[in-house]
Amino acid sequence: MFVLERILLATDLTVRSISAELRAAQLCEDLRLDSLDVMTVRRTYAANWFDRLRSNAVLASPDSDRDQVQRQFRFAQSRIRARHAIQCHYSIRSGDVPTAIIGMADETDAGMIVVGHERRSRLGNLLGSTAERLLGVADRPLLLVRNQPCSPYRTVLIPVDFSLEALNAARLALSIAPDAHHVFLHAFRMGEEGQMREAGLSEAVIGDYRSKRWAQAAQDLEQFIAELGPVRQTITGEIAYGWTVPMIAAVANKINPDLIVLGKHSASRTEEFLTGNVTRRAISQTSGDVLVIPRMDPGKDSWFERPAA
């Protein structure tokens, strides 16, 4: 059983974070966790002073700002307790938001970070939202909540490329959605198809070669699922021919998953900024919640060899 023992919810305590609050509480209940760690990050007093000065607003003192946050925490607790019997532990931090969240996750040994995610960043593509910035630095599973939770996750889409990241993503997906239908998708392309046409091979020969690759991909997917061990969930395997992100979007449009689980491969920040990656593009082209699993180091991450649920 893949064990997730603590969840950290990072919230700005506004209306747009309510879905993340309720989903984090729902997950705690599903996983039979007694409590949820909740944090918010306040910018430094100097930064707030500069912002208020530009807008000609009245600047609140640090003490009054903290009192306001405490009131918002109580409102959040009431919302959560109205639907879930979960005890919340609240913390207030200051400074750079992603840095503070990662620091809190380290302190609490959180197995997952949960944040709300807006479809379109208010700060524009250059700066990105907190969730988008966390994608580049999070060293543990990151759940981006984009929809109002009405129930535990029921349909989960898990794109796989048979890598370690995909295996970790599959194991965690099975753990946090024990009653869901899990759809494993493998998309592939033949990079040599253009060269085959250039060499004058017929469409029949190319099609036969593609069929063989399709059969091999299906066999590899079947083996991948078998490596997860005995599971009680309903599992379906899907093979698609085409570019990864469009295939993820097409299957997501067909099955309407409430959760998509992605294994994030390592890449330099410069590479991600200039070209984007599969994770970010898949997020932008789908509408369900997204759980992103970072690249794991088997020498450091104790859950690397845990079996699936």
Q: State pLDDT tens for residues 168-197.
A: 889 999 999 999 999 999 998 876 666 666
More confident residue, 8 or 74: 8
Whether residue 1 lies inside any domain: the answer is no
Question: Which of the 8 DSSP states describes residue 296?
Answer: P
Query: Does residue 89 sit in the same domain as residue 193?
Result: no
Average pLDDT over residues 123-143: 74
302 confidence band (pLDDT: 50, 70, 90):
very low
- Chain segment 196-216, per-residue pLDDT in tens: 666 777 778 777 878 888 999
212 within some domain: yes
Within a domain: residue 96? yes
Q: Which domain holds residue 274?
A: 151-309
What total of structural domains would you count in the chain? 2
Average pLDDT over residues 146-167: 92
Q: Is the pLDDT of residue 267 over 60?
A: no
Q: Examine the domain organization and report whether 186 and 65 are in the same domain.
A: no
Q: In what order do the strands lie in the sheet with 142-145?
A: 87-94, 35-42, 7-10, 112-116, 142-145, 289-293, 259-263, 155-159, 181-188, 234-241
Q: Which has more pLDDT, 165 or 51?
A: 165
Helices (H) and strands (E) in the chain — how many of each? Answer: 12, 10
Residue 302 lies in a domain: yes
Asked whether residue 127 is assigned to any structural domain, the reply reads no
Domain assignment of residue 35, yes or no: yes
**pLDDT at residue 264 is higher than 60:** yes
Q: Note whether 75 and 205 are same-domain residues.
A: no
Q: Higher pLDDT residue, 134 or 45? A: 134
Q: In DSSP terms, which residues pair with 182 in a beta bridge?
A: 156, 235
Same domain, 99 and 219: no
For residues 103 and 188, state if they share a domain. no
Determine the average pLDDT of the residues in 145-151: 92
Please check whether residues 113 and 231 belong to one and the same domain: no
- Residue 305 clears pLDDT 70, i.e. is over it: no
**Domain co-membership, 192 together with 303:** yes
Predicted local confidence at residue 122, as pLDDT: 42
Asked if residue 130 is part of any domain, the answer here is no
Strand partners, 157: 183, 260
Q: Are residues 197 and 256 in the same domain?
A: yes
| pLDDT on residue 163 | 86
Same domain as 17, residue 109: yes
Flag whether pLDDT at 269 surpasses 60: no
Q: Does 126 reside within a domain?
A: no
